[in-house]
Structure 1
Amino acid sequence: MYKDYLEQAKVIIFDLDGTLYEGTDHFKLHVENLKAKLDQEKKQAFQDIYDQILSGNHPVQIGKIYDGLRDIVWGWNPFTEALTEACNWEHERVHVDGAPSHIAAHEFDFKNWVPIGDGWWPPYAIARHFGLSIDAIQESYNRTKEQMAQLGGYLNQTPGLKEYLSELKNDKHLIVCTNSDGDDAKRLLQFLEIEENFDELIPAAMKPVNTKKHFNYVLQKYDVEPNQTVSVGDNFMNEVAPALQLGMKAVWLTDAAEKPVDDDQFVLTDTLAQSF
């Protein structure tokens, strides 16, 4: 079904990291780098929580908000931007006096309000839960990115994607909008051998805070209606929810079994590599 969305669109906006290449082992690598910063007795507890998250048996899940100030997890409605129930790490519902009823995407500060949009963020939340500083977590993230470039098996071309993008670009505008900086994004697109398929690269995008700003820019520049435009990405907060808010369609690359919200404007798929 996701192919119908792409083939009917006039403009397709792709995320880069986690979208235009395959694999999730880098998340596990990040987990190991974070665990290395913990005392021995906390390493297994970290792993146990991460395994619970992967199996869907923990409140920290894609589409939720980590409250770093209170060390709890909130549900969040991407359309109304309302905070719903709050849970502690034992999956118990908690009441929080003085908490806001809503939080907009531009209010995410990645310190007190952290959107859990893709596989990078559950390890972040667990690390904060165990007392690691934001700087220490960022250090682990940077090391993981370096290892991905240096070690084999972490950046894999999606079979058939290069050819499929080449077909799509014949009658569509293809755009990359990424939080990676320009130099890194260009290097990665060149490594994947797909850079020539895109009309435009929007780097250092500061998603999800500025996602709608970038999407509105694309709608205006290419003179298309929202329902003629598709956002493709692995981060629900960054690429899917903002697109739906603007009336666009979206393809969410995820291994999640269910949608956080019931909406027929977006579809789930675990990979773009399906019968090209």
Structure 2
Amino acid sequence: MYRNIIEQADVVIFDLDGTLYEGKGHFKLHTENLKSRVRKDLREAFQEKYNEYENGESPLQIGKIYDGERDLIWSWDPFQETLTEARNWDNEVVEVENAPSFMQASDFDFDKWVPIGDGWWPPYAVARHFGVSVDEIKESYNQTKVQMAELEGFLNHTPGLKDYLQELSKRKTLVVCTNSDLEDAKRLLSFLELEQFFVEVIPSALKPVNTKQHFNYVIEKYKVDAEKVVSVGDNFMNEIAPALQLGMSTVWITDVDESPVDDDRLVLTNTLATFE
């Protein structure tokens, strides 16, 4: 069904990490790198908390907001842009005085307010909970990205994707919008043999804070209506919710079984590997 939405568009904006290559082993790798930065006597507890997330037993889930100042996990309505409920790590509702009720994506600073949009961010929040600093987490992330390029099995070509994009690029304008910097994005696209299919790469995008800004730029530059643009990505907060707010269609690559919103512009799929 997601191919039908893409076929109806004039412009398709693709995320890069977690979207244009297969596998989620890098999330496990990042988690292990973070665990090595946790105090030794707390590493078992770190793993237990992360396992609770993976098993769906934690208040920490995709679509939540981590409150780094209070070490709490908030529910967030991405369309009303409101914080609706805070929970502690024992999954108990917590009353918070003087907490903001209204929070736009532009308010996320990835320190005090951290959107949990995809698999990179749950281990981030767990690490913060166990005392790992933001700088140490950034070091772990950079270490993981280097390891992904050097080790086998972390950057896997999506079967059929290259041929599909080659044909699609003849009929549609294809753009990459990624939080990776330009050097990293070019390296990944070159490794995946996909770089020639995109007319533009928007690097260091700082999604979701600047997602709407980038999407509006694409709409204006390529002179298309929002409803003729599709956003394809694995991060609900980065690529999906902002696109829906602008009237675009979306393809969310996710393991989530149920859509968080009832909107026929949103299609869920767990892979882009069925192009044959």
CA distance in 2, matches of 1:57, 1:257: 16
CA distance in 1, matches of 2:46, 2:252: 27
Q: Which residue of 1 aligns with 2:231?
A: 231
Runs of 4+ in 1 over 3 A off after TM superposition: none
Amino acid at match of 1:51: N
Q: Secondary structure at the match of 1:189?
A: helix
Amino acid at match of 2:157: Q
Q: Which residue of 1 aligns with 2:10?
A: 10
Q: Which residue of 1 aligns with 2:64?
A: 64
Q: Which residue of 1 aligns with 2:241?
A: 241
1:258 aligns with 2:255: no
Per-residue CA deviation, residues 226-265 of structure 1 (Å, 9 max, x unaligned), is: 1111101111111011101101111111112222333222
Q: 1:29-108 maps to which residues of 2 (within 5 A)?
A: 29-108=29-108
CA distance in 2, matches of 1:82, 1:52: 26
Q: CA deviation at 1:199?
A: 1.2
Structure 1 unpaired stretches of 5+: none
| Farther-moved stretch of structure 1 (256-265 vs 181-190) | 256-265
Q: Which residue of 2 aligns with 1:158?
A: 158
Q: Secondary structure at the match of 1:50?
A: helix
Per-residue CA deviation, residues 50-78 of structure 1 (Å, 9 max, x unaligned), is: 12211222111111100001111111111
Per-residue CA deviation, residues 136-171 of structure 1 (Å, 9 max, x unaligned), is: 111111111111111111011101000001111111
Q: Secondary structure at the match of 1:174?
A: strand
Q: Which residue of 2 aligns with 1:179?
A: 179
CA distance in 1, matches of 2:12, 2:107: 26
Per-residue CA deviation, residues 162-197 of structure 1 (Å, 9 max, x unaligned), is: 000111111110000011111111111111001111
Q: Secondary structure at the match of 2:22?
A: coil
Amino acid at match of 1:97: E
1:23 aligns with 2:16: no
CA distance in 2, matches of 1:141, 1:258: 29
Q: Please give the TM-score of this superposition, normalised by the length of structure 2.
A: 0.98
- Structure 1 vs Structure 2 CA RMSD: 1.0
Q: CA deviation at 1:112?
A: 0.4
How many percent identity over aligned positions? 64
Contact 2:161 2:275 in 1 (8 A): no
Contact 2:164 2:275 in 1 (8 A): no
Contact 2:65 2:115 in 1 (8 A): yes
Q: Secondary structure at the match of 1:258?
A: coil
CA distance in 2, matches of 1:271, 1:7: 17
Amino acid at match of 2:213: K
Q: Secondary structure at the match of 2:251?
A: strand
Q: CA deviation at 1:275?
A: 4.3
Q: Please give the TM-score of this superposition, normalised by the length of structure 1.
A: 0.98
Amino acid at match of 1:171: R
CA distance in 2, matches of 1:270, 1:142: 26
Aligned length: 276
Amino acid at match of 2:267: V
CA distance in 2, matches of 1:125, 1:259: 24
CA distance in 2, matches of 1:58, 1:121: 14
Q: Which residue of 2 aligns with 1:199?
A: 199
Structure 2 unpaired stretches of 5+: none
